[in-house]
Every structure is written in C-alpha cells, then in structure tokens.
Chains A and B, each alone.
Chain A
Amino acid sequence: MTERQAVMDFPGAEALQTAGRVAPPSAEVLARALSAVEGAVREDLARASRQEADGKARTNAVVTPLRKRRRLLSVVALAAVAAGVTVTGVSMGGGARQGTQAQSASAFLNDVAEVAATQPAGSGTYWKVRADAMEAYISRSMEARYITPGKAVRTGHFPGWRLGSRTYDWNGLDALTTDPAQLLRLIESTTKASADEDEDAGTLGFVQASTLLADAPASPRLRAGVFKALAELKGVTVVGTVKDSVGRTGTELAYRGGVGTTKVIIAPKTGTLLELIEPWRSEKDQRTATYLSVGLTDTTG
C-alpha cells in the first residue's frame, strides 16, 4: 500500500474521488494559457536583450559589482540549500600567494588538460562530492543524498550540470562532446538571457565550466576538453601558486568579468579543481567552495 492509499483508507474514499471528476479544459482554454506564457517568455527575453544592450553602453562606467544570487547548478550550492546550511564561507581572497605568474593561462590550461586526460576514471555507482562542510552522493538517475556535519541526511533530485544554454544529467555528460572547440562554443553561448539581471554572461560561462570541472562526473576526456576550451577563453589569467583554504597548493587562475574577479585554484599534477572563489555582493564579499575530493564510489555515507 502506498502512502497515498493509506491516507485514503476510509469509508467513502472512492466516492469522494469520483465526486471530484471534472471535464478537461477546452483546447481554446489550454491555448490561451500557453499563449499567455509564451508572451511572458518573449517579454522576458526582450528585457534581457535590452539590458545586454544597456550593459554594453555602460561598459566604461565602473560601478560596484553587485549580485543578488545565482541559480548555479552546483552540487555544493544545492547541497547547502538542501541541508539548510551555509557551506560557502566568506573569504577575503582565495589563498596565500607564494609565487609569481610563471606562464600564460593558455599554456597552463593546456598542460593541465594533458594531465586530466590521463587520470583514472574510477568506478562505482554513485558520484561522491566531499566539500568543506558536507558530502553529496548522486546516482545515475540523479537522486542526490546530502550528508552534513552531525550526519543529518537530506535527499532530493539533483537537476544536473549546466554548460551554455543546456543542463546535463550524468548520462548527458557522457554524451557531451569532448571537442575543445565545440565546448568553447558552448561556454561562450551562455547568453545574457541565461544570466540573472545583475550578472554578466562571461562570468557565468566561466563559472559553469569551472563548476563542471569541480564537481561533475565528467570523463577524463571531457575534463581535458573543458580545460582546453578554457585555454582559449578570453579573460583568463594566471595569478600564481597559492594555497587554498585548507592548505593545499595549487595554481590560481582569475577571470575578470563585469561583476568582479572569479578565481579557481587547480592542482596541476592531477588536474583537480580545488577551490572556486566568486565575488558575491562585492569584490570584498566572496564565496568560496572548497572541494576536498570527488569521485566514484559504491556506497553512500
């Protein structure tokens, strides 16, 4: 007996259900509802287009970067929401810089791509992401299980990973192209319509690609392809060798967008993305997602 059947286990339940039967709406009513929404969609897209044009006109007018929030499909972000906790702490700057810029971002990313391509894919039923304050387990059917300190467990459906204008589930990632040129086009296809009102599409594209590298069950070939795509993306620079929030050494890259500078710290020897640091409400108010480990596993929690 399902939960619903158990609830409806009283005398007259079937009669009550029958009494609720109504005729379906006419085709005209359905068409009117659809037409109303299609009109709203067109207005939304037109407004986004106008804002993009306004943004270009104001390119030289530097204002304090400000974003309300971002609907990123990130395991860490969604785990935080599911668990009702804040895992992305406020951090002033990404890590402690130890060295100076040694090579171009393009050369570094192409080198990392070669390393990423040779990493073992691993095996297991679940994709596990361990962040600084929680663990998440995602199945192929995209059911997610989040475990927080104190072993509180939340479950939910994980919507997928976004790149450009599309969202990919685990199977979708397997089918995604690994060609760097095509991946770059996907990253660059993040339109203004895909970004919130106070975000810029370039930053969103960079963050989406970085998030995919950080916490998605992408194959070594796909990760290599995304690294190579980022190597061709304009606006990425090497900051230098730094330590992340938990003391791991990596190379920090920066992407300077309209809303501030987004940074990622990458371990060059493994191609692992260690940390993602985003400006949030301002350059001085950053959100940091620290990825302690990701990989396949056969057990949850």
Chain B
Amino acid sequence: MEVESEHEADSERASDTRLTMSADDPAAFTPLVERYSVVLHGYFARRVPGAADDLLAEAWLQAFAARRTFDASRGSARGWLFGVARNVLAGHLRRAARAEAPPGEQVSDPWQAVDQRLDAAALAPALRGALAELPPDEREVLLLVSWEQLTPAEAAAAVGIPAGTARSRLHRARGRLRERLAPGRPAGRGLAVTGDPA
C-alpha cells in the first residue's frame, strides 16, 4: 500500500519486523494473518473468485513455511506476501489448466477471469479492450498497483523483478492506455466510467 500516514507507515514497519522475527519465533507470524488476510483474499477473489477461500489458506501456509526467506532489507512484508500469493495463484492456474486445457498448453495468466470481472462491472469496452491489448507482464503490475494498492516497488517484489523494471512496465502500460483512450480517438470517444459508450 502506498503509505499515506505515519501510523500506517509504522504498522507496515511493524509487519516487516514481525515477519523477520517469525524466522526465530514462529508465534510472531500469526498476527500477520489477521492483518493481511482481507487484502490477500481480495487478490484471489478478483482473479479466481471460486477458489479464493481455499487459496487464502494455502497462501498463508506457504508463507509460513517460507518465512525465513523474507529479508526486510530487500522489501516490505506486504510485497513479499503478495509474491507468495502470486506463486500460489500461478500453481492453481497451472493445475486448473492441466485439468481442462489440451496437453502442452500452459495457462498462467488469469486475464480471462479478470476480463469477466470487468465485463460484469460494466467497464467501458474501450478500457477493457485497451487492457486486453496490454502485454500480460505490464497488465499484471498495473493491476497490482490499481487493485491491490501496492506501490511500484511492492509490485516489483511481488512479481520478482527489480523495482526499475516494474516502473518501466507501469510507465509503458500507462502510455499505451493514454494513447488508446485519448479523447478524440475513435476507440476512446465517449469513454464512460461504466456502461457501454458505443
């Protein structure tokens, strides 16, 4: 989350400390579950609504098992936890793809479910189309910032890329969306917050 208050900043730092401590003191981990479960559940619910409840528990167990790999000097607990959630989501999507898709086909981008969500929310088709045209790696960091309220650095940590790379992807994504949705362009004309502008 982009820290906007001193209190929030302190809370985030306390989480970093708590996750660090949990390497030696497992009981220090449980308050993190209380603090971040809602946001992590939201991450899953937006991408795989039917499996969010199960994936939340799976993500926490994986995070607990991997807690010693957290390094506060490399990033925040929040970004690290979303990285764990992302791995859990990818594993889920791979399992689902193996069960449903033809052999050899890899599915790791939840765009289809995301697009259905945008459709259900009656998001302007121009924006939906513009998002669909974004490269998946740019779209992923954009949605982490927009929906999960992560900072670019936290989104980078979640995806496992350098912060500079994440900023570049975000910059490019914003540029593409601005170009595609600029007023006066046919695709962007009449763009509304919701509803069908066409």
Instruction: Name the distance in Å between B169's Cβ and chain A's nearest Cβ.
Output: 10
Chain B CB count within 10 A is highest, among A7, A82, A169, A194, for: A7
Docked-complex contact A81 and B74, CB < 8 angstroms: yes
- The answer, among B20, B57, B72, B127, for a CB contact under 8 Å with A16, is B127
CB <8 Å contact, A159 and B127: no
* B145:A159 contact, CB within 8 angstroms: no
Looking at the assembled complex, report how far the CB atom of A140 sits from the nearest CB atom of chain B, in whole angstroms: 12
Binding-face segment, A40-48, A95-103, A108-116, A253-261:
A40-48
Within the assembled complex, what's the spacing in Å between the Cα atoms of A167 and B194?
Answer: 50
Which single member of A11, A29, A81, A141 contacts B188 (CB below 8 Å)? A11
* A7: contacting residue among B130, B174, B192, CB under 8 A: B174
For the complex, is A33 an interface residue (Cβ under 8 Å from B)? yes
- A8 contacts B46, CB within 8 Å? no
Pair B61/A36 contact, Cβ less than 8 Å: yes
Contacts of B178 in A (CB 8 A): 10-11
Residue picked from A16, A71, A82, A160, most chain B C-beta under 10 Å: A16
Which A residues touch B142, using CB under 8 A? 7
Complex contact A3–B152 (CB within 8 A) = yes
Scan residues 144-185 of chain B and give those whose CB is less than 8 A from a CB of chain A.
145-147, 149, 151-152, 170-171, 174, 177-178, 181-183
Q: Which residues of B contact A32 (CB under 8 A)?
A: 53, 57
CA–CA, A37 to B31, complex, Å?
10
Most B-side CB within 10 Å, residue of A10, A36, A81 = A10
Stretch at the interface among A19-27, A235-243, A293-301: A19-27
Cβ contact within 8 Å between B145 and A12: no
Best-buried of A20, A22, A38, A78 by chain B (most CB within 10 Å): A20
Give chain A residues whose Cβ lies under 8 Å from the Cβ of B130. 12
User: Is the beta-carbon distance between A160 and B17 smaller than 8 angstroms?
Assistant: yes
Q: Chain A residues near B2 (CB, 8 Å)?
A: 2-4
CB pair B46 A20 closer than 8 Å? yes
Contact check: which of A15, A22, A79 meets B194 at CB < 8 Å? A15
Given contacts A159-B20, A195-B24, contact A33 B74 (CB under 8 A): no
Please tell me if the beta carbons of B124 and A157 are within 8 angstroms of each other in the complex: no
Are A45 and B13 within 8 A (Cβ)?
no
Interchain CB contact (< 8 A) of B177 among A3, A10, A146, A157:
A10
Which 10 A-B pairs give the minimum distances between C-beta atoms?
Answer: A20-B147, A19-B121, A156-B73, A82-B73, A12-B127, A11-B181, A25-B41, A15-B193, A159-B20, A10-B177
A: residues with CB less than 8 A from B are: 2-4, 7-20, 22-25, 29-30, 32-34, 36-38, 40-41, 44-45, 71, 73, 78-79, 81-82, 141-142, 144, 146, 154, 156-160, 162, 165, 167, 169, 193-196
| A–B Cβ pairs within 8 angstroms, 7 of them | A10-B178, A15-B127, A20-B117, A25-B52, A33-B60, A167-B17, A169-B17
